[in-house]
C-alpha cells in the first residue's frame, strides 16, 4: 500500500528538551495509527510538525509522496491534512456552524452551497446540531472537543490527526465516538490518533506507535505493543513513581 | 434524508431588516440635506461621515485583522497631498483626484506592508507611526507644496469644482456621505464574503485559522492595502474641504488616529456597528464640550477609561453580548425547515 504520510529522521528540540528524536515512520493510505506515550513525550509536537505549525530542525516530512517539510500550515491543510487540538482552539466569537464553515470554505475550498450542506451533515454526524447557532466561546469543554473533531472533518481531510478527543467522556459517549471515527475511517480517510483512553484507541487502530522523549520506542500490532516490555516500563514505571 | 435537506442557513434577522429600512430612510434624508440643512450642519455631517469612514477602516484593520496601526495618518496625509499635487501640478479635476488618491494609497501600502509586516504587536504599532512620521518629514521638504508651512488650494481649482459656493459645498458633502456609505458597505460585503469569514477566524484564533487553510499573511496584506487605499481617499476629501494643507495637519496622529481609536474602542471594536455608534458619541461629546478647551480632552479620556473598564468590548459589544442583536446581518443561523 502507498504511504500517505512519511516522516524521515525528523528532529526538533527546544534548547535541552527534545520533542522529536530521529523520528521516522510511515502511515499507509487508509490506515488508522494510534499514538501513545507519557505526558511530554512529544506527541502533540509531532502533530505540530506534521501540520506545519512547527518547523523541524532537520529531517523530512512527505504527504502523498510530496515533500511538505517547508510548506506552510495553511497549504498543508488545503492539501488534505486536518487536525483537532488537544487544548480546543475554537473561533470563540463565531457560532458553531460558522466554525465549521471556516474549515469547509478555506480548508476544503468548497463553494458556498456545498460548504453549507457539508457543515450541516457534519453537525448532525457529530451530534452538534442542537448547538449550531451557539457561540463557540460559550461551549463546555466536552462540546469544544467535539467541535474540534467536527471542524477538522469539514476541511475534508485525507489525513485526519486526532489529539486526545476521548478524555472525560462517559462509557456511552466513548462508544459513540468510536463509532463516529470508525465511520470516518470507512470513507477512506487515514487517521493518526493520540489518545490516553487506550481501550477506545484499540477499538479503532490497526497499528500503534509509542513515543517517549521524542523517540519512537515501539511500533506494531496494537495489542502486542501495549503488552510489550518497553511500554510496560514507560507506563507502569511512571505510574509507580507518581 | 441528510441534514442539509431539512435545514436552511439564514442571515437576515428582524433587527437587521428594521435597521436596513431605517438606514435607507436616514440615507435618503441625508442625501437631501443640501435642501434642508444649514451650511454649518452640512459641514458637521460631512465631518461625521468622514470619521465614520476612517473609524470603520481602522476597525477593519485592528478589530478584524489584528493590525493595530497608529499610523493611518500616513495615508490620510498622503491622500491630502496627492489631491493638492494632482490638481495643482497636473490639472486633475479635484473630484477625480479623490478616487485616484485610493490608487496612490494602495500603491504605497504594498511596499510598506512588506516592510512592517515583519513586526508584531506593539512593534508593528510603533512601526506604522514611524512610517507616518517619515511621510510628514518628507512632505515638509517639498517646497513646491509649501514645505513645512503648507499651502492652499488655488482659487481657480476650487472654482473648478462648481461655480457657486453652495453647489461646491453640496458636492463635497455628497462625496463625504458617499465615501462613508461606500466604506461601510465595503466592510459589510467583505465580512459577508468567504474572505470575511477567514478574517473573522483570524480575529478569533490565528493558530486555528492557519491550521484550517487560511493564509494569514495574505489576508492581512489584502486588508491593509484596501484600508490604506480608502483612507487615502478620505484624506483627499478631508483636505478638499479644508482647502489648505500642511504636514502637521495632514499627518496629525491626534486627529486621524487617536480620535479614531477612541471612537472604535468606545463604540465596539470588531463589530461593524461599533465605529458608527462611536463616531456619534464622539461628536455628541465634542459638540457639547467643545467650549471647555482642554477639559474636553480630559473628559474624552475619562469616558474611554470608563468604557474600557465597564464594557471592554465597547458599547455595541456590550449590547450585542446582552441581547444578541445585530444591525448588519453577518451571522449565519441554522434554521430547521418547516
Q: List pLDDT tens digits, range B145-187.
A: 888 888 999 888 888 888 888 888 999 999 999 999 999 999 9
CATH number at residue B134: 1.10.3470
Contacts of B259 (CB under 8 A, 6+ apart): B51, B282
With contacts defined as CB-CB under 8 Å, which chain A residues touch B334?
A: 97, 120, 123, 129, 132-133
- All three cell numbers of B114, joined, read 512588506
Whether residue B269 lies inside any domain: the answer is yes
Whether residue B231 lies inside any domain: the answer is yes
What pLDDT score was predicted for residue A236? 67
Whether residue B117 lies inside any domain: the answer is yes
Task: Give the residue from B257, B276, B258 showing the smallest Cα distance to B319.
Answer: B276
Of A89, A109, A132, the CB nearest to B208: A89
Q: What is the pairing mode between strands A159-163 and A190-194?
A: parallel
Q: What is the mean pLDDT of chain B?
A: 92
- Look at chain B and report how many structural domains it folds into: 1
Residue B164: what are its φ and ψ, rounded to 5°?
-95, 155
With contacts defined as CB-CB under 8 Å, which chain B residues touch A97?
A: 9, 332-334
d(CA B259, CA B236): 18
Among A52, A76, A88, A89, which would you mutate to test the B interface (most chain B Cβ atoms within 10 Å of its Cβ)?
A89
Interface of A with B (CB under 8 A): 51, 53, 72-75, 77-78, 82-83, 85, 89-95, 97-98, 101-103, 105-109, 112, 116-118, 120-121, 123-124, 129, 132-133, 151, 155
Closest residue of chain B to A134, computed from CA coordinates: B333
d(CA B72, CA A56): 38
For residues B273 and B267, the answer to whether their CB atoms sit within 8 Å is yes
Quick check: A124 and B203 CB within 8 A?
no
Residue B330: what are its φ and ψ, rounded to 5°?
-115, -45
With contacts defined as CB-CB under 8 Å, which chain B residues touch A73?
A: 210-211
With contacts defined as CB-CB under 8 Å, which chain B residues touch A124?
A: 2-3
What pLDDT score was predicted for residue B178? 96
For residues B145 and B247, the answer to whether their CB atoms sit within 8 Å is no
What pLDDT score was predicted for residue B114? 95
Q: Which domain holds residue B257?
A: 15-332
For residues A57 and A231, the answer to whether their CB atoms sit within 8 Å is no
Q: Could you tell me which residue, A229 or B245, shows the higher pLDDT?
A: B245
Of A92, A101, A155, the CB nearest to B204: A92
Quick check: A124 and B3 CB within 8 A?
yes
* pLDDT tens-place values along chain A, 242 residues long: 589 999 999 999 998 899 999 999 999 999 999 999 988 889 999 999 999 999 999 999 999 999 999 999 999 999 999 999 999 999 998 999 999 999 999 999 999 899 999 999 999 999 999 999 999 999 999 899 999 999 999 999 999 999 999 988 889 989 999 999 999 999 999 999 999 998 999 999 999 999 999 999 989 999 998 888 878 877 766 554 44
For residues B315 and B322, the answer to whether their CB atoms sit within 8 Å is no
Interface of B with A (CB under 8 A): 2-4, 7, 9, 194, 197-198, 200-201, 203-205, 207-216, 270, 331-334
Within 10 Å of residue B25's Cβ, how many Cβ atoms?
10
Whether residue B4 lies inside any domain: the answer is no
With contacts defined as CB-CB under 8 Å, which chain A residues touch B333?
A: 95, 97, 132-133
- Counting Cα atoms < 13 Å in the Cβ hemisphere of B112 gives 26
DSSP string, B5-33: TSEEEE---HHHHHHHHHHHHHHHHHHTH
What pLDDT score was predicted for residue B19? 92
Label residue B89 exposed, middle or buried (CB < 10 Å: 0-12, 13-18, 19+).
exposed
Among B7, B205, B213, B221, which would you mutate to test the A interface (most chain A Cβ atoms within 10 Å of its Cβ)?
B213
Within 10 Å of residue A60's Cβ, how many Cβ atoms?
15
DSSP-H helix ranges across chain B: 14-31, 33-36, 39-59, 73-90, 94-116, 121-140, 155-161, 165-192, 194-204, 206-211, 216-242, 247-250, 253, 259-267, 273-289, 294-310, 314-323
What pLDDT score was predicted for residue B284? 93
d(CA A153, CA A181): 10
Task: Give the residue from B201, B239, B207, B222 showing the smallest Cα distance to B101.
Answer: B239
Whether residue B338 lies inside any domain: the answer is no
Whether residue B55 lies inside any domain: the answer is yes
Whether residue B298 lies inside any domain: the answer is yes
For residues B91 and B76, the answer to whether their CB atoms sit within 8 Å is no
Question: Would you mind telling me the total number of residues written for chain B in this entry?
Answer: 338
Query: Is it the case that residue B321 has pLDDT exceeding 90?
Result: no
Cα B55–B290–B276 angle (5° rounding)? 20
Closest residue of chain A to B271, computed from CA coordinates: A93
Contacts of A175 (CB under 8 A, 6+ apart): none
- 3-class secondary-structure state, position A207: strand
What pLDDT score was predicted for residue B132? 95
Closest residue of chain B to A114, computed from CA coordinates: B4
For residues A10 and A20, the answer to whether their CB atoms sit within 8 Å is yes
Q: Which residues of B91-110 are buried (b: 16+ CB within 10 A; e: fewer)?
A: ebebbebbebbbebbbebbe
How far CA B61 is from CA of B2, B25, B73, B303, in Å, comes to 39, 29, 14, 23
What pLDDT, in 10s, does the model give residues B40-49? Answer: 999 999 999 9
How far CA A38 is from CA of A15, A81, A237, B191, in Å, comes to 20, 25, 10, 43
Task: Give the residue from A17, A90, A19, A108 showing the smallest Cα distance to A55.
Answer: A19
- The DSSP H or E segment spanning A48 is helix A43-51
Amino acid at each position: 500500500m502507498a504511504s500517505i504520510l512519511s516522516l524521515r529522521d525528523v528532529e526538533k528540540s527546544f534548547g535541552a528538551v527534545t520533542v522529536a528524536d530521529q523520528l521516522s515512520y510511515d502511515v499507509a493510505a487508509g490506515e488508522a495509527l494510534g499514538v501513545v506515550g507519557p505526558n511530554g513525550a512529544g506527541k502533540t509536537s509531532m502533530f505540530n510538525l506534521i501540520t506545519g505549525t512547527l518547523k523541524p530542525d532537520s529531517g523530512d516530512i512527505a504527504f502523498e509522496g510530496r515533500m511538505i517539510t517547508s510548506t506552510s500550515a495553511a497549504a498543508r491543510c488545503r492539501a488534505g491534512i486536518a487536525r483537532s487540538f488537544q487544548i480546543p482552539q475554537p473561533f470563540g466569537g463565531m457560532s458553531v456552524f460558522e466554525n465549521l464553515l471556516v474549515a469547509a470554505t478555506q480548508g476544503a475550498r468548497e463553494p458556498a452551497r456545498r460548504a453549507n450542506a457539508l457543515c450541516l451533515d457534519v453537525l448532525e454526524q457529530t451530534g452538534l446540531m442542537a448547538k449550531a447557532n451557539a457561540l463557540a466561546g460559550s461551549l463546555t469543554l466536552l462540546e469544544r472537543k467535539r467541535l474540534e473533531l467536527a471542524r477538522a472533518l469539514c476541511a475534508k481531510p485525507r489525513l485526519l490527526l486526532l489529539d486526545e478527543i476521548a478524555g472525560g467522556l462517559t462509557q456511552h459517549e466513548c462508544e459513540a465516538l468510536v463509532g463516529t471515527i470508525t465511520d470516518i475511517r470507512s470513507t477512506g480517510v487515514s487517521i493518526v490518533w493520540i489518545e490516553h483512553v487506550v481501550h477506545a484507541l484499540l477499538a479503532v487502530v490497526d497499528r500503534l506507535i509509542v513515543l517517549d522523549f521524542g523517540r519512537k520506542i515501539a511500533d506494531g500490532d496494537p495489542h502486542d505493543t501495549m503488552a510489550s516490555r518497553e511500554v510496560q516500563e514507560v507506563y507502569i514505571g511512571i505510574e509507580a513513581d507518581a | 434524508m441528510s441534514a442539509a435537506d431539512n435545514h436552511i442557513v439564514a442571515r437576515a434577522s428582524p433587527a437587521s431588516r428594521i435597521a436596513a429600512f431605517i438606514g435607507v430612510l436616514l440615507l435618503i434624508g441625508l442625501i437631501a440635506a443640501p435642501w434642508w440643512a444649514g451650511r454649518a450642519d452640512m459641514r458637521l455631517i460631512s465631518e461625521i461621515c468622514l470619521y465614520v469612514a476612517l473609524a470603520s477602516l481602522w476597525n477593519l484593520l485592528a478589530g478584524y485583522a489584528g493590525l493595530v496601526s497608529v499610523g493611518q495618518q500616513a495615508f490620510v496625509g498622503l491622500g491630502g497631498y496627492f489631491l493638492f499635487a494632482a490638481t495643482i501640478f497636473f490639472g486633475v479635476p479635484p473630484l477625480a483626484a479623490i478616487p485616484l488618491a485610493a490608487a496612490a494609497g494602495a500603491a504605497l501600502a504594498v511596499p510598506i506592508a512588506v516592510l512592517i509586516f515583519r513586526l508584531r504587536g506593539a512593534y508593528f504599532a510603533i512601526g506604522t507611526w514611524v512610517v507616518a512620521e517619515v511621510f510628514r518629514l518628507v512632505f515638509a521638504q517639498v517646497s513646491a507644496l509649501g514645505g513645512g508651512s503648507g499651502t492652499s488650494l488655488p482659487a481657480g481649482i476650487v472654482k473648478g469644482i462648481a461655480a457657486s459656493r453652495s453647489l461646491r459645498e453640496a458636492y463635497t458633502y455628497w462625496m463625504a456621505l458617499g465615501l462613508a456609505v461606500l466604506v461601510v458597505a465595503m466592510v459589510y460585503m467583505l465580512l459577508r464574503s468567504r474572505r470575511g469569514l477567514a478574517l473573522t477566524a483570524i480575529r478569533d484564533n490565528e493558530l486555528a485559522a492557519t491550521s484550517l487553510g487560511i493564509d494569514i499573511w495574505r489576508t492581512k496584506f489584502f486588508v491593509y492595502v484596501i484600508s490604506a487605499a480608502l483612507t487615502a481617499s478620505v484624506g483627499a476629501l478631508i483636505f478638499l474641504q479644508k482647502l489648505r494643507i500642511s504636514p502637521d495637519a495632514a499627518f496629525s496622529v491626534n486627529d486621524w488616529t487617536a480620535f479614531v481609536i477612541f471612537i472604535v474602542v468606545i463604540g465596539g471594536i470588531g463589530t461593524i456597528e461599533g465605529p458608527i455608534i462611536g463616531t456619534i458619541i464622539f461628536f455628541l461629546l465634542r459638540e457639547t464640550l467643545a467650549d471647555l478647551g482642554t477639559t474636553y480632552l480630559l473628559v474624552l479620556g475619562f469616558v474611554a477609561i470608563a468604557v474600557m473598564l465597564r464594557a471592554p468590548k465597547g458599547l455595541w459589544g456590550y449590547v450585542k453580548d446582552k441581547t444578541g442583536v445585530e444591525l448588519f446581518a453577518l451571522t449565519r443561523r441554522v434554521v430547521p425547515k418547516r
